[in-house]
Amino acid sequence: MISKEQVLEALRDVKDPEINRSLVELNMIRNIQINGAVVSLEVVLTITGCPLKAKIHDDVVAAIRALGAQEVDVRFGAMTDDERAALSAQLKGNTKQPTAPGQAPVLHPMLSKDSATTFIAITSGKGGVGKSTVTVNLAVALARAGKKVGIIDADIYGFSVPDMMNIEQRPTVIDQTILPVEKFGVKVMSMGFFVEDNSPVIWRGPMLGKMLRNFFSEVHWGEELDYLLLDLPPGTGDVALDIHTMIPQSKEILVTTPHATAAFVAARAGSMAKHTGHEIIGVVENMAWYEAKDGSQEYVFGRGGGAKLAETLASRLLAQVPLGQPENHPQEPDYSPSVYKADSAIGRIYDQLAEDIDALCK
């Protein structure tokens, strides 16, 4: 006969998909009852209407059936306010470190000098060059290579990452702790999750800086990330300056088109990175050419902008990405309008870019 101890032991390997910790460890398994080969229990969710409730149900049922149970009855409840507050405190752990007098506070262990997370800011001199497209596809390519990856959509006025990845789910909020949304193996946090109906964000600089800090102090990123990519607003404004100040160890990738003017403007963002001590990994030239039906390359936006920018910044040209729409269909289970598949020509370029960047950052 199955025992309660066996049920709990089996469920230790079942994790909350958002928190990535055992349901047993989080005290989410309650009221286990066993009647022969029939097992019933209650799973207490972090919030009512948890978006991943179905997955939790299936994982619990599979784990208990593996013990020999013929029938598994799973009921769902929700944590009380006090339980959520306790869990929030548990997840934050030692996020806010004690500091010596006069020392700037550390908002999150990832921001400390000892952190194993590599920060890469993706920036450009002007909008419309595909900076967010590069951010999203580089993050997905790094995840495909087995890396633990996150994105902060720091382009607070022009957020686009959730739409580009077709993320419709909102982050789960447990008391004062926010859980990022995960898709394609990438954890995502964006201002776009907190505005309604694509409304404009009308904020001044200090408010933007506070939101960026909240993305560290209030967000539970889970296991330490290998890479955290920051999709910066174009240019050299308040948000870019805040990032340079908040994360002095961040590296940067400049995105430009082949057009000489785009590269000229992008050089300003590169100069800002150098002045603030950020290492420039290199340049990605987006929209480098268009491949015609006969296989020939048409240089719609000119040639040489990426190489010229890399030379100006004494850096390297990391990749040239051609124009091309991802061949994705809305009926596909993991549809997104902007993520290139691994087996596509442009997807392979991003996979190579991810491999090169991983080698450069080691």
Q: Which domains does the chain have, with CATH numbers?
A: 4-79 (3.30.300.130), 109-361 (3.40.50.300)
Residue 350 confidence (pLDDT): 98
Within 8 A by CB and 6+ apart from 360, the residues are: 281, 282
Query: The tokens of 183 are what?
Result: 């898709």
What's the confidence (pLDDT) of residue 330?
Answer: 87
The b-or-e profile of 206-232 (16+ CB within 10 A means b, else e) is: eebbebbeebbbbbbbbeebbbbbbbb
Question: Which amino acid is present at 296?
Answer: S
pLDDT band at 64 (very low <50, low <70, confident <90, very high): very high
Q: How far is Cα 163 from Cα 44, in angstroms, rounded to an integer?
A: 31
Q: What is the pLDDT of residue 202?
A: 47
According to the per-residue pLDDT averaged within each range, which of 48-52, 80-84, 106-110 is highest?
80-84
pLDDT at 40: 94
Q: Are 350 and 253 in contact (CB under 8 A)?
A: no
Is the pLDDT at 222 greater than 70, yes or no? Answer: yes
Model confidence at 239, pLDDT cuts 50, 70, 90, reads low
More confident: 91 or 236 = 91
pTM: 0.80
Mean of pLDDT over the chain? 85
Helix H or strand E segment including 22: none
For residue 115, report the phi and psi dihedrals to the nearest 5 degrees.
Answer: -65, 140
pLDDT of residue 323: 94
Rounded to an integer, the average pLDDT of 337-345 is 95
* Residue with the two structure tokens 């590069």: 134
* 274-303 mean pLDDT: 88
Query: What's the rounded Cα separation, in Å, for the pair 259 and 277?
Result: 27
Band (pLDDT 50/70/90 cuts) for residue 100 is very low
As given in the structure block, the two tokens for residue 14 are: 């079942």
How many angstroms separate the CA atoms of 127 and 129, rounded?
A: 6
pLDDT at 203: 46
The pLDDT score that the predictor gives to residue 93 is: 67
- List, in order, residues 6 or more apart from 273 with CB less than 8 Å away: 121, 123, 244, 252, 279, 280
The DSSP bridge partners found for residue 151 are 188, 229
Burial annotation 161-187 (CB, 10 A radius, 16+ → b, else e): bbbbbbbeeebbebbebbbbbbbbebb
pLDDT at residue 274 is higher than 60: yes
Q: Which of 16-25, 29-38, 191-200, 243-252 has the highest mean pLDDT?
A: 29-38
Rg of the chain over Cα atoms, rounded to whole angstroms, equals 23
Greater model confidence, 195 or 230:
230
